[in-house]
């Protein structure tokens, strides 16, 4: 199975900050990568797919990049509602593995 | 608007079989792929398996010996069975939709908590 490793596992930031989360695949996955946001008590919400395509309705402050094994999720100007846990997922091959998650909390 | 709703027992005894159903509303189950994903309390997401509306399946190797996913197009439902459960199977179980075999999950159910305990 492809292993997805996110970094950092958690960090603190302030409203208005620009933050970047990294996801690394243990082997190449082209651009078959999605990012999800999970607020406590809620189901994951799709933010980005195909590594860089913004899901309809998702604010433009979210962006994704990368191909192959290295990917990033960037939030350009943190809002209060963005403090959550973020997961990457590869769907290049079965099983469709997730990263361990990155929890973003308020500094 | 497509909606997914998980249902099933919230408590299962060790060594028994966990059974959950996901009911799809606001759209047809036909033409899409459907998955089960779980999340142990306080932990990350784990992909369990996927089924096409025609019935073809793919499972996580770590669970393959215990998992069966099936579909009932007449009821617009798909189901999960996980046998020989232990406390490690205690989790929030989500169902989700994909437009293709290799695609993101664009619609998710709210999740249902299953606790394995005697």
Look at residue A39 in the predicted model and tell me its pLDDT. Answer: 97
Interface residue ranges in chain A relative to chain B, Cβ cutoff 8 Å: 1, 32, 34, 36, 42-46, 49-50, 55, 87, 89, 91-101
Contacts A–B by Cβ distance under 8 A: 62
DSSP character string of B42-60: TS--EEEEEEETTS-EEE-
Q: How many angstroms separate the Cα of A52 from the Cα of each of A97, B25, B38, B60?
A: 18, 29, 25, 26
Looking at residue B72, what is its pLDDT? 97
Q: Is residue B33 pLDDT above 90, yes or no?
A: yes
Q: Collapsing DSSP states into helix, strand and coil, what is residue B31?
A: coil
Q: Where is pLDDT greater, at B101 or A61?
A: A61
Q: What mean pLDDT do residues A18-43 have?
A: 97
Top residue of A41, A43, A57, A100 to mutate, by most chain B CBs within 10 Å, is A43
Per residue in B39-52, pLDDT (tens digit) is 999 999 999 999 99
Q: Which residues of A touch B105 (CB under 8 A)?
A: 34, 36, 44, 46, 89
What is the pLDDT at residue A106? 87
Residue B46 and residue B90 in contact, taking contact as beta carbons nearer than 8 Å:
no
Confidence class for position B38, pLDDT limits 50, 70, 90: very high
**The pair of three-digit structure tokens given for residue B53, joined into one six-digit string:** 């509306």
Residue B64 has pLDDT above 90, yes or no: yes
Q: What is the pLDDT of residue A107?
A: 86
CA-to-CA separations, A41 to A5, A99, B49, B75, in angstroms, rounded: 24, 19, 23, 28
Q: What is the pLDDT of residues A34-91, one digit of tens each?
A: 999 999 999 999 999 999 999 999 999 999 999 999 999 999 999 999 999 999 999 9
pLDDT band at B101 (very low <50, low <70, confident <90, very high): confident
């Amino acid at each position: 199975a492809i292993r997805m490793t996110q970094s950092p596992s958690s960090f603190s930031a302030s409203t208005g900050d620009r933050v970047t989360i990294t996801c690394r695949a243990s082997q190449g996955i082209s651009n078959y990568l999605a990012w999800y946001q999970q607020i406590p008590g809620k189901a994951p919400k799709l933010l980005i797919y195909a590594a860089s395509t913004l899901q309809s309705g998702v604010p433009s402050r979210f962006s994704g990049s990368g191909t192959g094994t290295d990917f990033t999720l960037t939030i350009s100007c943190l809002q209060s509602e963005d403090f959550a846990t973020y997961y990457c997922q590869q769907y290049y091959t079965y099983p469709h593995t997730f990263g361990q998650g990155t929890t973003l909390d308020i500094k | 608007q497509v909606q997914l709703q998980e249902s099933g027992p919230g408590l299962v005894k060790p060594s028994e079989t966990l059974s959950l159903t996901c009911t799809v509303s606001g759209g047809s189950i036909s033409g899409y792929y459907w998955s089960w994903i779980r999340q142990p309390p306080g932990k990350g997401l784990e992909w369990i398996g996927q089924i096409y509306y025609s019935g073809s399946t793919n499972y996580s190797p770590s669970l393959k010996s215990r998992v069966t996913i099936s579909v009932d197009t007449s009821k617009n439902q798909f189901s999960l069975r996980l046998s020989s459960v232990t406390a490690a199977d205690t989790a929030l179980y989500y169902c989700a939709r994909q437009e293709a075999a290799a695609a993101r999950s664009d619609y998710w159910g709210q999740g249902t908590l299953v606790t394995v305990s005697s």
